[in-house]
Amino acid sequence: MAGAPSSTAVAGASKGTDSPTGSADTPIETSPTQPSSGGAKPSQPADTSENVEATRPSWNPQPTQADERLEVPEDPEKSSGALPSGEPRKPVLTKAPKPGAAEGKLTKGFPKDAMPLPSSTTIEWSSVEKQSSLVMVGVQGRSKQGVEEILAFYESHFKDLQWLATTSSEADGSTRLQAGFGQDTATVTLHQLPTGLTEINAAGVFTVED
């Protein structure tokens, strides 16, 4: 019949009624409240366990395979690094001399072994004092020997005593030698005079037990 609608038009009208907000070919998307068992799983944080080794410091704190340990030798005294045992140093003065003072000579009991004088020395004055366990001695003289000879004389003396000695030059042109060990000390000052003689000023402090 000429006035009846075609089947194609009826089908198009039916689809347009079912999808009022979209076109006939565009499906309506829905958001399910829970994912189905076959759907994609939510994303998980990346496993960083494989990256731990990459973040280690460059010096590699892991222990080496070789088990290296420091061992104390059974007899430390026989080890190559052991210090040699030295003999105990004897005191310079074992007995306190009698106190006194003298001009032109050494006072009686002056400890020449502790504070010697080079040969050909003319004594100007000398003294010995005692205070508790300390003995203080002093002497001044003039020698025909030069500064270097007298300096070598005292350096050899203090070396025999195993004392530490240092030499310095003073502003007035004199040479000073200082030596000592423990509480024992000595100072020798040498000055070259215009006459060619060498002036000697020596002083020492020594400990005694008596």
* Predicted confidence (pLDDT) per residue in 156-179, tens digit: 999 999 999 999 999 999 999 999
2 inside domain: no
Contacts of 197 (CB under 8 A, 6+ apart): 142, 143, 144
pLDDT at residue 169 in the model: 94
- Measured CA distances, 56 to 61, 98, 144 (Å): 8, 78, 78
| Confidence bin at 91 (pLDDT 50/70/90) | confident
56 inside domain: no
- Please answer whether residues 190 and 151 qualify as being in contact, where contact means their C-beta atoms are separated by less than 8 angstroms: yes
How many domains are contained in the chain? 1
Q: Among 210, 204, 152, 146, which Cα is nearest to 180's?
A: 204
Instruction: Kindly tell me if the per-residue pLDDT of 192 is higher than 90.
Output: yes
**Higher pLDDT among residues 77 and 95, named by residue:** 95
What are phi and psi for residue 196, nearest 5 degrees? 95, -15
What are the structure tokens assigned to 126, written together?
């000398």
CA contacts within 13 A on the Cβ side of 179: 23
165 inside domain: yes
Q: What is the mean pLDDT of residues 196-206?
A: 96
**pLDDT tens digit string along 12-27?**
444 444 444 444 454 5
Separation of first and last alpha carbons in the chain? 155
Length, in residues, of the chain: 210
11 inside domain: no
Structural domain boundaries, residue 166? 101-196+203-207
**Higher pLDDT among residues 79 and 117, named by residue:** 117
- Please answer whether residues 142 and 122 qualify as being in contact, where contact means their C-beta atoms are separated by less than 8 angstroms: yes
H helices of the chain, in order, are: 7-18, 147-160
Give the CA diameter of the chain. 168
Name residue 2's beta-bridge partners: none
Residue 100 CB neighbour total at 10 angstroms: 14
| SS3 assignment for 141-174 | EEECCCHHHHHHHHHHHHHHCCCEEEEEECCCCC
What are the structure tokens assigned to 198, written together?
């060498």
72 inside domain: no
44 inside domain: no
**Higher pLDDT among residues 55 and 149, named by residue:** 149
* DSSP 8-state secondary structure symbol assigned to residue 118: -
73 inside domain: no
pLDDT at residue 36 in the model: 47
What are phi and psi for residue 200, nearest 5 degrees? -115, 125
112 inside domain: yes
